Structure 1
Amino acid sequence: MTVRELLGVRVERVTDLGSSHSWTLHRAALADGREVFVKAAHGRGGVFAAEAAGLRWLAGAGPDAPVPEVLAADGHRLVLPWLPAEAPTARAAERFGRDLAALHAAAPDAFGAPWDGFIADLPLDNTPDPGPWPRWYAERRLAPFLRRAARDLGGDGVRLVEKVIEGIDALAGPPEPPARIHGDLWSGNVLWTGGRAMLIDPAAHGGHRETDLAMLALFGAPHLQRIVAAYDEAAPLADGWRERIPLHQFHPLLVHVALFGSGYREQAVAASRAALALPP
């Protein structure tokens, strides 16, 4: 269906914004005065269905959840409100920390999610599982992407990943209940707008709350220390969480190896060594 058919409103102008992975990005002005953001692709319906389901599920955390409304979605398009970007401020970062803590606290019943997941355009096994989290993470996140990334990791890299999987119970820290997490929360998926942070492009699922914080640190987020401090004040983190950051960054780095090849191998290997507390 076209955007007009999905929304029931005439589209007056479309501005192309480039592409990402296997879809294109657009800004559209509607006859009723609204502007919307549109992702479009052919044959990628599962990706948009997962993103729409994830955004709606995150919004279910409460009326102030930091996610945009899904205006429409089908197999070829996802339509969201257009949100003008602005520079992040310290005050907005502190609010983000509190908002993220509240989002995580709206706990689901299990790890995983009741829909087929994607990260970028790679599938994620979201099979719901009561846990514990370490085995779920090893079986549903690390092992599948080890198979995808094995060629670029090489033999030594594969053996390090296997050691992380084998030792996951000892590496994962104190038990945590499932949290309602974004799942791909690098800084590019944080949109600063209206004096706050809004979360976009989720790989949402019931997961470990430290995963979202580790993702924010992976490629650097503005005012990260303020975000984490506000989060920790609202929902104190378990002892040793900083030492576990590499463990939680390990899956997204394997994803990057699977997507982009050996250019991310050294980061993935370094994360595995750090998770195992091995010297560099």
Structure 2
Amino acid sequence: MKPRDQFLTKEFLGADAGNAHETTREKTRDPHKFRTIWISDVHLGTTGCQAQRLLEFLRKTESDTLYLVGDIIDGWQLKRRWYWDQSHNNVVQTVLKKAKKGTEVIFVPGNHDEAVRQFIDLDFGGIRVRDELIHTTAQGKRMLVLHGDRFDGVISCAKWLAYVGDNLYTVILKWNQWLNSWRARAGLPYWSLSQYLKLKVKNAVSYISSFENALAAEAKRRGLDGVICGHIHKPEIREIDGITYCNDGDWVESLSALVEDYAGELRLVTWQEIVMPHQHAKHQKEEELCVSPS
């Protein structure tokens, strides 16, 4: 019988090298792992919901804790007209599967799924329903987590106006879908028409600023380090009067989420960055090249 070392031929080592290469390749397909993920404003039950893209995002990512920060299901639209695509069902099943496999899933209802607020402090299928709560990051920062609709003057004082605005918003989202279908055929990346219009309308900019300041003020009043919310569909991380304001965006326009890594750092990520990293990097480089020198 040959000594053990004599079996270590070049062919044998080559096979091992091939297996090692295969293992490395498998690792590159592993999901992105985070300590915490926050998503909101999915609006399942509407034609504007980007459920398939969210599904791709959820399948590519893992986290110890997943926060669903309101407006996950759009009860307002479902009352007017029933719409529920298979991809919407797949999103629900994927979240339930994550909860079953050990991810802590916390659902903080918003105004569009306010019917769920009657179940505050109850648990369903491994999903905890809470009105709001404090999240402590790995760096020890205490962050208030809530949807944010209570700090929206339109929702609080003139709900009928919010319903009118919601109808107009639905029309804009349809335009957004048509536009991005054309952009996809032209090989162009996703772009949000509604986000662009918001940033161009002075009153909308003022409304967003007021909302952000109100949330930051509430966190400061409670002696916290920051606030994490959704509601206005504008992803953002910025400091306001010493408070870290974070908005995780949405899944009808910006296709974004807020994540915390294991070092406790908070950052915004997009569907394109997680699911199509090469295209995202290419688009980022093109944007940098297009910036004119000041």
Same fold (TM over 0.5): no
User: TM-score if structure 2 supplies the norm length?
Assistant: 0.24
Name which one, 1 or 2, has greater alpha-carbon Rg: 2
User: TM-score if structure 1 supplies the norm length?
Assistant: 0.25
